[in-house]
Amino acid sequence: MMVFNGPLFDMHPRYMHFKNLMLDFFRGMQVESMEIEGLQHVISVSAGEQVNDPTTTKEDLPSILFRVYIIRSKRVAESNTVRIELEEMGPRMDLKLGRWQEANEDMMKMALQKPKDTAVHGFLIVLMIGQDEEECGD
């Protein structure tokens, strides 16, 4: 599970781009609900509030805090409830956005296109993993 904390990931173009890169890198999918027993790790990416300093023309962007946690489920004595604890396991990074050059609109549109036949190729790969070499025709 990957969580983005802070309004900048939905409002600021540089943070939106960073969020997009992280989701692409970790191959994240958005889900509405999930069984807590099946969840093992949480990747938390946080950014503070943007501070505008009127004395400078430079944009001062807050750091991005990247943390990875393991989820521990513990039964509460004399109760049917489960207490969930997050334990930091690493890696732990404090990132600062540096130089950045925005792509022109045509290039960005082409880069964000999703291929139409991705699901078919992924399905075929899954089928071929468990087969012997003779069955695949090699």
Residues 5-35 have pLDDT tens digits of 999 999 988 899 899 889 888 875 677 887 7
Structure tokens at 28: 């994240």
Structure tokens at 13: 């173009």
Mean pLDDT of 100-127: 67
Mean pLDDT of 78-92: 87
Q: List, in order, residues 6 or more apart from 49 with CB less than 8 Å away.
A: 6, 7, 8, 62
Decide: residue 62, CB within 10 A, 0-12 exposed, 13-18 middle, 19+ buried: middle
Contact 69, 87 (CB under 8 A): yes
Choose between 86 and 39: higher pLDDT: 86
**pLDDT of 93 strictly over 90:** yes
